Amino acid sequence: MELDRLYALLKEQPRDARWLLRKVGTDYMEQVAALREQGRPVEVEMQDVEGMRRAVYRAADQGDLFAGLATPRPKRRRRRRRPA
């Protein structure tokens, strides 16, 4: 599977390792590593899927990296200068 397509699918919704094995193939871990090398963040965490603990992969939106910058800062009041 092409890396752009894989990343788009991971952005749509988290996918477990079994799904990746079926859709991408046995080299899915190398594909995920290639995405990371391109600068596309992919997160992995263990979750309960169908009663079993499985690795779940999801594309981490890069906007999260700059979340603190997006909040508006309080406006500063300007002091008026007094005429001399």
Share of the chain above pLDDT 90, in %: 48
Give pLDDT < 70 ranges for the chain: 61-75, 84
CB atoms within 10 A of CB 63: 8
pLDDT of residue 74: 62
pLDDT of residue 78: 72
Contact 64, 70 (CB under 8 A): no
